[in-house]
A and B are shown apart, each in its own frame.
Chain A
Amino acid sequence: DIQMTQSPSSLSASVGDRVTIICRASESIANYLNWYQHKPGQAPQLLIYAASSLQSGVPSRFSGTRSGTEFTLTISSLQPEDFATYFCLQSYGPPWTFGQGTKVEVK
């Protein structure tokens, strides 16, 4: 199985901060990487697909990049509604696998 190592597992930040979350794949997954935001009791929301494409309706402060097997989600200026858990999903090789999640908390 392809392992997705996500870091950090949690972080504390303030409104306006720049936040970076990383997922590293254990082998090449090309661009088969999506990023999601998940709030308790709600459905996960797609932010980024194909490693760097912004999903329609998602604010432009969210961005994704890829460097080989390392994928980065960046929130350029954290907003109050962005405090949530973020996770990555690889859908290159089944079984599809997920990062362990990053909880973004108020500093």
Chain B
Amino acid sequence: QVHLQESGPGLVKPSETLSLTCTVSGGSISPYYWNWIRQPPGKGLEWIGFVYYSGSTKYNPSLESRVTASVDMSKNQVSLRLNSVTAADTAIYYCARDWGDSCRGGTCHRMWDYWGQGVLVTVSS
């Protein structure tokens, strides 16, 4: 059974960098995409971006200037860095596994099958 576990500091000061790790157990980093998602208190889910096992990335334009995602195949981990944080970055942060585009019989889809349980990060001085 694949298990994803997010980890990192629960408290980050404004203007500093938020750093999170998603550790994958029971499965491999390849050949998947790894998404980061967040949910501010009382608000909806927001996609942050993904990193492919090869290291290529794609980010939400709303966060692109502040986000870096990466993979460490040797540790079976995916990482997220978000710099210059403000209180608006307070949220539960999730990672999720993504199979990428899959097509059969002329129809395509993209399945995200496993998520972590999330980690709450509070931005406060």
In the bound complex, residues from chain B placing their C-beta under 8 Å from that of A99 are 44
A31 touches B107 (CB 8 A): yes
- Measured between alpha carbons, how far is A94 from B57 in the docked complex, in Å? 12
**Stretch in contact with the other chain, from B24-32, B58-66, B75-83:** B58-66
Q: Please, which residue of chain B has its CB at the minimum distance from the CB of A6?
A: B44
**B108 on the A face (CB < 8 A):** yes
| Given A43-B4, A43-B115, A43-B116: A98 in contact with B109 (beta carbons within 8 A) | no
Interface string of A33-63 (1 = CB under 8 A from B): 1101000011111100111010100000000
Tell yes or no: B47 within 8 A of A by CB. Answer: yes
Q: Which of A45, A91, A97 contacts B110 (CB 8 A)?
A: A91
Residue A80 at the chain B interface, CB threshold 8 Å: no
Say whether chain A's binding surface is mostly helix, strand, loop, or mixed. Answer: loop
Partner of A32, one of B62, B96, B110: B110
Contact between B107 and A50, CB atoms less than 8 A apart: yes
Q: Name B's interface SS.
A: strand
Q: Mark B63-94, 1 if CB is under 8 A from A, else 0.
A: 00000000000000000000000000000001
- The interface size of chain A toward B, counting residues with CB under 8 Å, comes to 29
Kindly state the separation between the CA atoms of A87 and B62 in the bound complex, as whole angstroms: 22
A74 within 8 A of B: no
CB-based contact A50/B60 at 8 Å: no
Distance, CA A32 to CA B107, complexed state (A) = 10
B→A interface (CB under 8 Å): 4, 35, 37, 44-47, 58, 60-62, 94, 96, 98, 107-118
Apart from the given pairs A41-B117, A43-B114, A50-B111, 18 other A-B contacts in the complex at a CB distance below 8 Å? A30-B108, A31-B109, A34-B110, A34-B111, A43-B94, A43-B116, A44-B94, A50-B107, A50-B109, A53-B109, A87-B45, A89-B45, A94-B58, A95-B60, A95-B61, A96-B47, A98-B47, A101-B44
